[in-house]
Amino acid sequence: MLKSRKSEVLAAIVLAGPFVALYAWMFIYPTIQMVHLSFQNAPLIGEGTWAGLKNYTKLLSDRTFKTAVWNTAYFVLLTVVPGTAVALAIALMVSRLNGWFQSIILAMFFVPYVLPVTVVYILWDWMVNVQFGVLQPVIALFTGKPVNVWRTIPWFMPGVAIVTIWWTNGFSILLFLAGIRNIPKEIYEAALLDGASRTQVFWRVTWPLLWPVTVLCLTIQLILQLKIFDQVYLFSMGGRTQVTMVMVQYIFEQGFQRNNGGYAATIAVALFVIVVAVSVLQLQAARLRRGT
């Protein structure tokens, strides 16, 4: 008995070992290094000097950091729930189609997801270009004159949010479609026999049974959008980057453009804490909603 237990432990170590070693080397060690670096006055590359809490006190009074936190939060607000809602709506519509027609429509929604961010940027930058953009007549309907979306501060974040939802929605739609197909047909038949209206069917059957998928989508989106960088960086290049700054962009700016490795690590630690806190909160909230 004892012997077989011992061999089980050995087998467990052999099987889990490579992963644990890789994980420790590639994730845990760098994380510790990052925290260590945040207490130093260090360049991007090379040795630093111990700075104690200086980076952290600087962070608290840093105006651009506050802007970055606010913009990131605003962006999350603009994309996570609206994006998931749009994906759910599209998935519900697509699920009513059949055969090859469904495949084509689904592909149309999924294609943007395959594009690299630079292509997405160039596409949208040209579509809303203030001189030649095809969308400017639409914008002019509301404003009376062409607007440079990427240089007009109140337009910037909503603009990037729309582009992001358009770009990343395909994945959430796929997840929702899989979820919808997993709901047994009998439940719908039973509900219809009981005389449920379509609204009732959605709220009493589809919505609760899709909830796990919804939570998954929201979580993926939340973590992804907290790390927003590429789109904001690309659309704001050469303009008012300090006003439209988001957190990861600020890490990039401090680390790679200003050569402040220590301070960049401090911002990274702050982002890390925020991501962990928000993820835990969201999981708890999701559990509450499920009533367990």
Partner 1 sequence: MRGFLRKALATAALLALTAGAQAKETVVWWDFLGGGDGVRMKKLIEDFNTDHKDTIEIQATTLDWGTPFYSKVQTSAAVGAGPDLMTYHSSRIPLAVGQDTLTEITPEDMTVMGLSEASFAKAPWAAVHVDGKQYAVPFDQHPIVLYYNKDKLAAAGLIGDDGLPKGLNGVDNFAAAMKKLQDGGTKYGLATVTANGDFAYRTFYSLLCQQGGVVGGDGNWLPGDNLQKMVNAVQVEADWVKNGHAPANTDYPSTVALFTTGDAAMMVNGVWEVPTMTDLQAQGKLFNWGAIELPVLFDKPCTYSDSHTFAIPNNKGKPQTPEKHAAVLEVIKWMEDHALFWATAGHIPANKAVTDSAEYKAMQPQATYAPLTANMIYDPQSKFAGVASPLFDAAGNALTPAINGEVDVTTAVTEFRDTLNDLQ
Footprint on this chain of partner 1 (rule: CB under 8 A): 43-46, 125, 129-132, 148, 150-151, 237-243, 256-259
User: What span, in angstroms and rounded, lies between the C-alpha atoms of 18 and 8?
Assistant: 16
Closer to partner 1 by CB, 58 or 204: give it.
Answer: 58
Closer to partner 1 by CB, 14 or 45: give it.
Answer: 45
Closer to partner 1 by CB, 258 or 289: give it.
Answer: 258
CB 111 to partner 1: min, Å: 25
**Are 115 and 204 in contact, with CB atoms under 8 Å apart?**
no
Q: What ranges in 96-152 are assigned the alpha helix state H?
A: 99-114, 117-127, 136-143
Closer to partner 1 by CB, 5 or 145: give it.
Answer: 145
> Residue 49 — φ and ψ, nearest 5°?
-115, 150
- From the CA atom positions of the chain, what is the Rg in Å? 24
CB 170 to partner 1: min, Å: 27
CB 159 to partner 1: min, Å: 14
CB 269 to partner 1: min, Å: 21
**Are 207 and 124 in contact, with CB atoms under 8 Å apart?**
no
CB 183 to partner 1: min, Å: 47
- Helix 153-182 with 63-95: angle, nearest 10 deg: 40
CB 116 to partner 1: min, Å: 13
User: What span, in angstroms and rounded, lies between the C-alpha atoms of 48 and 42?
Assistant: 4
User: What span, in angstroms and rounded, lies between the C-alpha atoms of 241 and 71?
Assistant: 12
Residue-wise burial string across 219-251, b where 16 or more C-beta atoms lie within 10 A, e elsewhere: bbbbebbbebbbbbbbbbeeeebeebbbbbbbb
Give the pair of three-digit tokens for residue 283.
Answer: 């999981």
Closer to partner 1 by CB, 103 or 152: give it.
Answer: 152
Write the DSSP string, 248-271. Answer: HHHHHIIIIIS--HHHHHHHHHHH
Closer to partner 1 by CB, 130 or 209: give it.
Answer: 130
CB 123 to partner 1: min, Å: 13
